[in-house]
Homo-oligomer: A and B are copies of this chain.
């Protein structure tokens, strides 16, 4: 296993900086979206993902997997979005259990409306203080970490989840 020793100062700093930066960025984005479009970050993520999907549709499970989110939480959010006329929910033709969420024109319009401001926040807080080279390097390292995380599931395997990887 990994060694059993404390982290050195540099490692600690990296860890803390990562958590704080993401937390601050999350807060800022959340605040902007609430003020500008009256939606939360999760809702925006859902809408953006749908807008980017073929036919503007996704099944609930696909959405939950994409956004890091609980199933019940997604049901709740989908309910809110549906009430706000931003998405519709229909049962899938091929599987009576599945629910297909589809973004409406109103939903697309909302995404289009808040996107510039969203991008602006990200640029102002995250990208502005960095050189293009920095951005590339940061992206490279984080992508590596992300892939590693996705590949290595938590020690306690998620219960009641299909292990799609192993046939």
Show the binding face of A for B, using Cβ within 8 Å.
1-4, 6-7, 10-11, 13-15, 17-28, 31, 35, 68, 116, 119-120, 122-130, 134-139, 141-150, 152, 154, 156
Contacts and interface: CB of A to CB of B under 8 A. Distances in A.
Contacts of A10: 135-136, 139
Q: How many copies does the complex hold?
A: 2
A128 to B, nearest CB: 6
Nearest to A7: B119
Given A4-B120, A119-B7, A145 B21 contact: yes
21 contacts: A1-B124, A2-B123, A2-B124, A6-B119, A10-B136, A11-B123, A13-B143, A14-B126, A17-B143, A17-B146, A19-B22, A20-B146, A21-B149, A22-B22, A24-B150, A31-B156, A129-B144, A129-B145, A129-B148, A134-B141, A137-B137
Contacts of A123: 2-3, 7, 11
B23 A146 contact: no
A12 to B, nearest CB: 9
Contact of A126 (B15, B24, B119): B15
A124 B145 CA distance: 10
Nearest to A142: B17
Given A6-B119, A7-B123, A35-B156, 8 more contacts: A2-B124, A7-B119, A11-B127, A13-B143, A28-B154, A134-B141, A137-B137, A138-B141
